[in-house]
Amino acid sequence: MGSTTKYIFITGGVTSSLGKGIIAASLAKLLQARGFSATIQKFDPYLNIDPGTLNPYEHGECYVTEDGAETDLDLGHYERFLNTPTSQANNITTGRIYNNVITKERKGEYLGKTVQVIPHITDEIKRNFFKLGEEGKYDVVITEIGGCVGDIESLPFIEAVRQAKWDIGPNNILVVHLTLIPYLAAAKELKTKPTQHSVKQLLEAGIQPDILVCRTEHHLPLEVKKKLALFCNVQLNCVIEAMDAETIYDVPLLMKKEKLDERVMSKLKLTSKVNTDLEQWKDFLGRLKNPTQEVNIGLIGKYVSLPDAYKSIIEAFVHAGAACECKVHLTLISSEELLPENVAKKLEHLDGILVAPGFGERGLEGKIETVKFARENKLPFFGICLGMQVAVIEFARNVLGLKGANSTEMDPNTPHPVIDLMADQKNIEMKGGTMRLGSYPCELRKGSKAAQAYGKAKVKERHRHRYEFNNKYLKQIEEKGMIPSGINPESQLVEIIELKNHPWFLGTQFHPEYKSTVMNPHPLFVKFVTATIDNKKSNI
Ligand code: GLN
C-alpha cells in the first residue's frame, strides 16, 4: 500500500439513504481545497458484478466513467464535486470480489488451500481498498461502504476495514460513521438511541468509529452531542452535526463550518499545504440561489417516478441553470401518457423538452409524438442517446416519409432500420458490460450549433448504448435538413444530429450529462437552457 496515502472509510448506520455519497464527496472537496489530492471509491455489497444490469427503479441511474465502467450513481457525485474523473477501480461490488477470488481459485492460485471468506475474500477486498492509493497519485483515498452496518451482506467489508486498521497503522486510517438522529415530534426530542445501537454494532465487529456525522432535521444541542460522545466512545468535537440542506451543494460548506476537515486532518496527522479556497464554489452557490429568470423544461422518459434514474441529467440542469442564473423547473413526464391527441395540451406550457435515454419499446410512441411536437413548434429540443435515436426515427417517418421507420431494438423487422445494431454488436449474447461504453472522440462540423456550443472542433464524450444511427440513411436525412454535426473520426458513426431550420434541436448519441460538474457545466446543457430562455422571451 502507498506508504504516505491516508485512508478514510465511511460507514452508515440506522437507515440507508442518509447521503453517505454526499458526505464523502463533501469531505473530499474540503480536503482538495486544502491542497490534498483525494479520490473516492465505493464498495457495494450486492452480487451483481456492476450495476449495469440493474433496473434504474432498483438502483437509480447507472453512471459511466471515462474508461467505460458502469458504476453506482454516487460516482457521479464524486466527479461533480471534485471535478476529477473516476474509473472502474472506484466502484467494486461483492460480485466482483467473489468473481476475482473464484477466477483465481480456478487458476490454481490458492492450490492446496480451502478458499474462505476470511482470509481470501477479505484479502481481495483489502487489495481493492488499497489499489488506488498504491498508484501514488493520492494523498487521501476515501472509501464509502454501501449499505448499513449490521446488514449480512456488508459484513466482509466491515471485517476488511477492521483488518486494514492493523495493516496500515492508526495514524493512516480513519472511520467516519454516518448516522441518523431522529426527532420525535410528540416527545419534542432528538433521539440518540438508534445511533448508540449502530455504533455498538460497529464495535461488535471490532471497529471504533473516530468521527460521527449525525444527520438531523434540528440542531443538536450540546447535551445531545455530549451524550453521543459518551455512549459512542468518541471525542466531543468529533460529533459532527449534518443538518438537512437546501441543496446538496451546500454540504461542503456546512461540513467546513462543523470543522469536519480539521478533525480529519488532525486525526490523520495531515498538515495543510495551502489555505482553503472555496471561492468558486461559493460563487456557483450564489448564482444557483439568486436566479434572475426561470424556465420550464420537460424531461420525457420512462422511469419518471424515481428521479434518481435521471440523476446526472437533473444535476447537469442545476449546473447549467446556475451558469445562466436561471431557475430550471424540471418536470418529469412519462412518455406513456403522451398520445397524438393530448401531446399539445401536455407540453405546450414548456419552454424546452429533453427526451431521455432509455431501453426497450415501452413509451416509444409517446416520445415520437414529443419530438414531432418540438420539431413542428420550434420548441428547443435536446435528445440524449435513445432521445437522439427517437429524433431520427421521427424525422425518417414524418419528414422523409419512410413509413414504419424504427430502431431494430424496438422492431427487428422494420422496413427502414434507421437505427440499427453495429456489426460488432450483432454476435454479442452476454448482456453485462457489452454495450459501447465509455469515452469516444467526436469531430464537430464547422459552424454547427454543436461546434458553437463547445467552442472547439474535437471533443470526447461518454457512451452507453448498443444501437447506432444507420449510415445508409445519412444522405437522405441531410438532404432534408437534419445534419450529422458530430462524427466519430475512427468509426464514422454519427454522434450528434441537429436540425438546420430550428432554433435549437440537437440530439447526442453519447451522454453529455456524465461530464457536467459544478466547475465545468456542460456546454450543451448551458446552450440548451439558453435556448429555452430565448424561446420564452420570444413568446412574451
Ligand atoms: N436503447 C438504446 C441503445 O441501446 C439507447 C440506450 C440509451 O439511451 N442509453 O442503443
Ligand 1 first shell, C-beta below 6 A: 357-359, 385-386, 409, 464-467
Taking the centre of ligand 1 as the mean of its atom positions, its distance from the CA of residue 456, in whole angstroms, is 26
For the segment 425-446, what is each residue's pLDDT rounded down to a tens digit? 788 777 887 889 999 999 999 9
**Residue of minimum CA distance from atom 5 in ligand 1:** 386
**Ligand 1 pocket test: which of 385, 462, 464, 493 has the largest number of ligand atoms within 8 Å of its C-beta?**
385
For the segment 119-172, what is each residue's pLDDT rounded down to a tens digit? 999 999 999 999 999 999 999 999 999 989 999 999 999 999 999 999 998 899
The residues carrying an active-site annotation are: 385, 511, 513
pLDDT number for residue 148:
93
Lowest-pLDDT range of 43-57, 440-454, 512-526: 43-57
pLDDT number for residue 540:
67
Distances (CA, A) of 118 to 44, 278, 344: 18, 43, 61
Taking the centre of ligand 1 as the mean of its atom positions, its distance from the CA of residue 409, in whole angstroms, is 9
CB of 337 closer than 8 Å to CB of 346: yes
Q: CB within 8 A of 75, min separation 6: which ones?
A: 40, 42, 63, 65, 86, 90, 91
Taking the centre of ligand 1 as the mean of its atom positions, its distance from the CA of residue 304, in whole angstroms, is 17
pLDDT number for residue 526:
98
For residues 474 and 213, what is the distance between their CA atoms, to the nearest angstrom?
A: 56
User: If you search the block for the grid coordinates 456489426, which residue do you land on?
Assistant: 423
For the segment 284-342, what is each residue's pLDDT rounded down to a tens digit? 999 999 999 999 999 999 888 888 999 999 999 999 999 999 999 999 999 999 989 99
**Residue of minimum CA distance from atom 1 in ligand 1:** 359
Average pLDDT over residues 8-24: 93
How many secondary structure helices (H) and strands (E) does the chain include? 18, 23
For the segment 180-210, what is each residue's pLDDT rounded down to a tens digit? 999 999 999 999 999 999 999 999 999 999 9
Mean pLDDT of the chain: 94
Atom of ligand 1 nearest to the CA of 435: 4
Atom of ligand 1 nearest to the CA of 356: 8
For residues 393 and 356, what is the distance between their CA atoms, to the nearest angstrom?
A: 15
Taking the centre of ligand 1 as the mean of its atom positions, its distance from the CA of residue 365, in whole angstroms, is 16
For the segment 363-400, what is each residue's pLDDT rounded down to a tens digit? 899 999 999 999 999 999 999 999 999 999 999 999 99
For the segment 261-282, what is each residue's pLDDT rounded down to a tens digit? 999 999 999 998 787 779 999 9
pLDDT number for residue 54:
86
Taking the centre of ligand 1 as the mean of its atom positions, its distance from the CA of residue 461, in whole angstroms, is 15
Average pLDDT over residues 407-418: 96
- Residue 295 backbone phi and psi in degrees, to 5: -135, 160
> Is-above-0.85 flag for pTM?
yes
- Residue 534 backbone phi and psi in degrees, to 5: -60, -40
At CA 55, angle to CA 304 and CA 93, rounded to 5? 130
CB of 391 closer than 8 Å to CB of 355: yes
pLDDT number for residue 300:
95
Which is nearest to 162 in space by CA: 7, 267, 4? 7
**Residue of minimum CA distance from atom 8 in ligand 1:** 357
Residue 3 has pLDDT above 70, yes or no: no
Residue 1 has pLDDT above 60, yes or no: no
Taking only Cα atoms into account, the Rg of the chain, rounded to an integer number of angstroms, comes to: 25
Atom of ligand 1 nearest to the CA of 360: 1
pLDDT number for residue 448:
96
Atom of ligand 1 nearest to the CA of 357: 8
pLDDT number for residue 432:
80
Q: What percent of the chain has pLDDT over 90?
A: 88
Higher pLDDT, 425 or 103: 103
Average pLDDT over residues 42-53: 92
For the segment 224-241, what is each residue's pLDDT rounded down to a tens digit? 999 999 999 999 999 999
Residue 349 has pLDDT above 80, yes or no: yes
Residue 62 has pLDDT above 60, yes or no: yes
